[in-house]
A and B are shown apart, each in its own frame.
Chain A
């Protein structure tokens, strides 16, 4: 029995020794996301965006004379694991700030922990307004649902002159439900009507029943604010059912996977996004080039947002000259006109990013810029 204990001790010391390398000469930042499970593709993109930002920074000498190290924990898409991993990042790994999560649900689970411990948390892509209301240490670099929902409402009503909309939303996704709600409010207040409203659940692959129903209501366009994982199939099946009206969506569409899966079916459709790849700004062009070189894929909007969240954090550390929670918090809150990939980022008094949105159209397999809509 004794040798058993010894062996365990030796093993555990070895394991412990191999991972407590991060010392005082490094600045540790944390990321929590769903690296496995149904939403893993979003979590992985987000983590990769952060890694890219961090590696670029470290190559240029780091920040405050120190290299930055990332601890990324998986939460399998479960809120209780999200909370636990934030506890671990803050209290065991001593991170100076937390970047995450994609889904508002898991940001809402993790945010109170960051707030209690006075460690700043920047969510790259949680769009529910409640997330940053969790406390003055919680920030985000994306726009919130009310704004993005209104973008398409304005675009469809004012620019395209459409009056009858149908909504097809993902009942499992807070993002999709939120966008739909604010789209509906704005579109109706502008004078349009919502003729049909159906739901699907992320993970489904057959949408024809709902699409047949929506089609029979004869809308002039369909608002489908989901993620590219489902929208490609939805567009395909809509065309197979002879739906010829345009589909419109939000930044969840931004991925090459959408074009691959949707093929010709996504041609001519519109979605709102943070930026356009046609933007000649060097931030945008370098990011796309470097991301491709590092990970071999074209970045989606989640990668761009997480890249920006890391950049905002590094910039704030530089300006604060410190990694202490309260000082860092003040520096992040003072972020103004930061030239990010996803636009010029200014954080308002609610700690939300104020950015303009662009509307893109899918033309010949490319996302073509149509219009900029300001808040």
Chain B
């Protein structure tokens, strides 16, 4: 029983990390219907921006605190947003009318470029992400442990979800976004500045990825240029599980994925842990392509 509680805590913590990445994923997909393969790499750049900011911009010997964390978060969000905008402008915008497969190939190309460029610039060796948030290990008794970082990340992903939800459903910008998501041509006809909305979507999506990068660095303080690969894929799967394009769905999907990975590794076998995410992906797409919270409509191309 104690093990079960510990597994549940671990699973929720893992899921909330996936959720942070999945939110940005699902937002860009919601608007552009584009699987932004480079999202994982924007997330990686966010982690590195945070690392370099705290290493060079903060005075040496800065004590970890909430204030420092917020500053690093902001720096990483700016770094990622700039990168996201550059990618959108130079790689995706010229292809807006091109076939989907071309955009997908470009996205994978950008992702490879950032991975290998990262290895060149940051070096291939993993680096330690500095401790910027004071953390404490709480002994809940009965050999169950909870980390304050886990709570912080869990809460943050829900807060971000709520903010995004508000943004998409309660603001003028959100209405434009949803209009574009429905039909790009129609949105254009009714006078929505499509380029501007997509631009802002990319800023928000990438900034979210940047924040996720820093929080990831806090939770798993080892970062390297290829760190976006696996979380990127898992976040995508989480977004599909919840219903891609659906903000609440992304968080629920991510938490479910985190929990099921932990339970499978804990109770069944750790050998196939990494295959599990793909099994879930396949099952969802075959049985309920719209995801848990999505519509049942099969996506048309």
CA–CA, A297 and B127, complex, Å: 12
**Could you give, for residues 68-81 of chain B, a 1 whenever the CB lies within 8 Å of some chain A CB and a 0 otherwise?**
00000000000000
Q: Tell whether A204 pairs with B274 under 8 Å between CB atoms, given A236-B221, A260-B128, A261-B222.
A: yes
B124–A36 contact, CB under 8 A?
Answer: yes
Stretch of B6-14, B206-214, B290-298 at the chain-chain interface: B6-14
Q: Residue B262 at the A interface, CB < 8 A?
A: yes
Q: How far is the CB of B132 from chain A (nearest CB, A)?
A: 14
Give the contacts of A317-363 with B (CB-CB under 8 A).
Answer: none
Residues of A within 8 A of B137 (CB): 239-240, 242
B7–A212 contact, CB under 8 A?
Answer: yes
Residues of A within 8 A of B6 (CB): 208, 212, 241
Q: Tell whether A232 pairs with B222 under 8 Å between CB atoms, given A41-B126, A200-B270.
A: yes
CA–CA, A242 and B127, complex, Å: 25
B145–A229 contact, CB under 8 A?
Answer: no
CA–CA, A213 and B262, complex, Å: 11
CA–CA, A76 and B216, complex, Å: 26
Q: Tell whether A242 pairs with B143 under 8 Å between CB atoms, given A209-B261, A213-B266.
A: yes
CA–CA, A211 and B137, complex, Å: 16
CA–CA, A35 and B124, complex, Å: 8
Residues of A within 8 A of B263 (CB): 209
Residues of B within 8 A of A364 (CB): none
Residues of A within 8 A of B128 (CB): 232, 257, 260-261
Q: How far is the CB of A101 from chain B (nearest CB, A)?
A: 15
Residues of B within 8 A of A38 (CB): 226
Give the contacts of B262-277 with A (CB-CB under 8 A).
Answer: 262-263, 265-266, 270-271, 273-274
A208–B220 contact, CB under 8 A?
Answer: no
Q: How far is the CB of B212 from chain A (nearest CB, A)?
A: 13
A210–B7 contact, CB under 8 A?
Answer: no
B124–A209 contact, CB under 8 A?
Answer: no
B125–A210 contact, CB under 8 A?
Answer: no
Chain B's closest residue to A209 (CB) is: B265
**Could you give, for residues 235-255 of chain A, a 1 whenever the CB lies within 8 Å of some chain B CB and a 0 otherwise?**
010011110000000000000
B145–A203 contact, CB under 8 A?
Answer: no
CA–CA, A44 and B263, complex, Å: 37
Q: Which of B126, B143, B266, B271 contacts A209 (CB 8 A)?
A: B266
Q: Which of B3, B124, B143, B266 contacts A41 (CB 8 A)?
A: B124
Q: Residue A374 at the B interface, CB < 8 A?
A: no
Residues of A within 8 A of B226 (CB): 37-38, 203
Chain B's closest residue to A169 (CB) is: B270
Residues of B within 8 A of A213 (CB): 3, 265-266, 270
Chain B's closest residue to A76 (CB) is: B116
Q: Tell whether A204 pairs with B124 under 8 Å between CB atoms, given A210-B265, A233-B220.
A: no
Q: Which of A37, A41, A208 contacts B125 (CB 8 A)?
A: A41
Q: Which secondary structure dominates where chain A touches chain B?
A: helix
Interface size on A, residues (CB 8 A): 37
Q: Residue B299 at the A interface, CB < 8 A?
A: no
Give the contacts of A186-219 with B (CB-CB under 8 A).
Answer: 198-201, 203-206, 208-210, 212-213, 215-216
Q: Tell whether A201 pairs with B10 under 8 Å between CB atoms, given A44-B124, A236-B221, A261-B222.
A: no
A210–B270 contact, CB under 8 A?
Answer: yes
B145–A241 contact, CB under 8 A?
Answer: yes
Q: Which of B116, B222, B261 contacts A205 (CB 8 A)?
A: B222
Give the contacts of B1-31 with A (CB-CB under 8 A).
Answer: 3, 6-7, 10-11, 13-14, 17
Q: Residue A40 at the B interface, CB < 8 A?
A: yes
Count chain A CB atoms within 10 A of each CB in B139, B143, B227 and give the residue with the most. Answer: B143
Give the contacts of A16-61 with B (CB-CB under 8 A).
Answer: 35-38, 40-41, 43-45
Chain A's closest residue to B4 (CB) is: A212
Chain B's closest residue to A171 (CB) is: B271
B126–A240 contact, CB under 8 A?
Answer: no
CA–CA, A204 and B233, complex, Å: 12
CA–CA, A205 and B11, complex, Å: 13
Count chain A CB atoms within 10 A of each CB in B11, B13, B124, B127 and give the residue with the most. Answer: B124
CA–CA, A45 and B124, complex, Å: 10
Q: Which of A36, A206, A229 contacts B119 (CB 8 A)?
A: A36
B222–A206 contact, CB under 8 A?
Answer: no
Q: Residue B151 at the A interface, CB < 8 A?
A: no
CA–CA, A281 and B73, complex, Å: 48
Residues of B within 8 A of A229 (CB): 126, 222, 224
Q: Residue B282 at the A interface, CB < 8 A?
A: no
Q: Tell whether A199 pairs with B271 under 8 Å between CB atoms, given A205-B222, A212-B266, A233-B222.
A: yes
Residues of B within 8 A of A171 (CB): 271
CA–CA, A212 and B230, complex, Å: 22
Given contacts A208-B14, A241-B145, A242-B143, 9 further A-B contacts (CB under 8 A): A40-B119, A171-B271, A199-B271, A212-B6, A229-B224, A233-B221, A239-B137, A242-B145, A261-B221
Which residues of A are at the interface with B, using a C-beta cutoff of 8 A? 35-38, 40-41, 43-45, 171, 198-201, 203-206, 208-210, 212-213, 215-216, 229, 232-233, 236, 239-242, 257, 260-261, 297
- 30 interchain pairs, CB-CB under 8 A: A36-B116, A40-B119, A40-B124, A45-B125, A199-B270, A199-B271, A200-B270, A201-B273, A203-B230, A204-B230, A204-B273, A205-B220, A205-B222, A208-B6, A208-B13, A208-B262, A209-B10, A209-B266, A209-B273, A210-B265, A212-B7, A213-B270, A232-B128, A232-B222, A233-B220, A242-B145, A257-B125, A257-B126, A257-B128, A260-B128
Which residues of B are at the interface with A, using a C-beta cutoff of 8 A? 3, 6-7, 10-11, 13-14, 17, 116, 119, 123-128, 137, 139, 143, 145, 147, 216, 220-222, 224, 226-227, 229-230, 261-263, 265-266, 270-271, 273-274
